[in-house]
Structure 1
Amino acid sequence: MIEVNGLTKRFGSIQALRDVSFKVEPGQIVGFLGANGAGKTTTMDIMCGCIGADSGSAKIAGFDIMDQPLEAKRRLGYLPDVAPLHLEMRVADYVTFAARLHKVPAVQLRKQVDDALDRLSLGDVRHRLVGNLSKGYRQRVALAQAIVHNPEVLILDEPTEGLDPNQILHIRELIKSLAGQHTIILSSHILSEVQNTCDRIVIIHNGVVVQQGSVEELARQAEAGRIYRMRVANNVDQLARDLGAINQLSGVRLTDPKNGELEFGLAKAADEQVITEVSKVVVNGSYGLRELTLKTHSLEDVFFQLTH
């Protein structure tokens, strides 16, 4: 349903995307995960035809967004990172305006607007000004404009950005309720958001797709290594630098510097010599080991190791 193949994009001297490729199958919700500045919005802007790629292609329901833009855009709904709202319009009027832009036939217009408002629980505020709504309700209105023409594909860029915890839960449930009726790709820099909403995850870092797979597949990857938590009495900053110089350790990071805590990853295939080397570093540096424990694996660990 969505096919991205070899997208490359440069802005002046900045290489924003390098050979980005992935697929989204019909009915799936796929999370496009990466830190701020990783290339998520650039990829989505290309997928929607807002900007062009230097090379590569993006297809929506089989139609190339560059070669067949009208056919592709008829089949997609887009929620950009900054919602395209007219604050001076009433909710129903704004969604009707969006439906007309999408060329919804006049005989179907009222029904499709009502359906979009009902699906996003906006019936009670349909006559209110968009500018008088809370941020959570404004985001629902923005989602309504993206689905009012019943697109096959939804592209949602950071749909919960800036919302409070309760609003995030509401938007997350609304997105889940759209699954099956639409193929959805949503971007986020928050792992828990993607993990709780999506079937598959695509991780991008510095413009490159570094990993992709189902939530279960990435969870199995998390189990392929060991994450240790260490607490020492002295100079935890220097200890982190010393451990970072050991080749077979990964993802050395300070987790609670005030209490002398850090974490590091160790591949299952690592030999005993690495353990010996870690022990020597701690003893010779007189760091005063207080605690060393094996941490439960999580997708957070995979994400951190892939993007640091």
Structure 2
Amino acid sequence: MKNFALIGAAGYIAPRHMRAIKDTGNNLAVAYDINDSVGIIDSISPQSEFFTEFERFQEFAYQLKRKPDTALDYVAVCSPNYLHHSHIAAGLRLGCDVICEKPLVPTPELMDELALIEQETGKRVYNILQLRHHDAILKLRDKVAAAPTDTKFDVELTYITSRGKWYMESWKGDNRKSFGVATNIGVHFYDMLHFIFGKLQRNVVHYSGLAKAAGYLEYERARVRWFLSIDANDLPDDVKGKKPTYRNIDISGEQLEFSEGFTDLHTTSYQEILAGRGYGLTDARHCIETVNVIRTAATMRGEAGEVHPYVARLVK
């Protein structure tokens, strides 16, 4: 049994980490969040200690180090995006391996800084890249690998996940803290595209706004038109009023709908990490480089065949 700490216990994604810790037979020893709305702990890990001040959390973690059976092995980071780097660094310096939600950090330079702290502490950072464990994605990767090496697939990626008015009032609506919608909701998909189609060769942004973004990516094995949105008005007509989320990939005319199958992917990710097969800094670098360019690039008028069809409705 491994001992875990969790930073960001009141966040949306934290319960998936709590359940993954429990389902893999491990112990959530202590959790921290500035928000005390963490009653979900009662149904998953009621014995866990909890703090709302980071200093008290950190001191408690140091006290746990005095005994081998209580010392922390892992720190799970589920805090807001802009705090990931600081919380990962703190976890490593506590003598723990760290499991962090997406996006790991906003820039390649901060990836390099984390690599230095790994060297200094002898501990490792793991990123939750759960789409790499999704059955539909793994099957598509196998299909692409089996195709002739000179085949380049035409791909259209559409991801719309409706968010209410609360979103823009939260840290997620502040680009200084979330790093923008393409980074906050898109980073896993850019990792997925790299995982399936190889190295990125071209990266162009056609539209960038607070609630949606679109562009074109060219990989070794694919030409990708992409569209991401948190606006329910962008949902297809046959989905509106039925589901809040629409995820779809069209690969050369064949649709891969992967809205289902996400429930247990955090547990799968934890199982892989605990077995020594987790995804680390090197694995996460490609998607961080991709979103860094998307976030900082000027929008361009797209060339024929490279623009997602939803963009036409935004630029009239």
Task: State whether TM-score is above 0.5.
Answer: no
Larger radius of gyration: 1
TM norm structure 2: 0.28
What is the TM-score of this pair, normalised by structure 1? 0.28
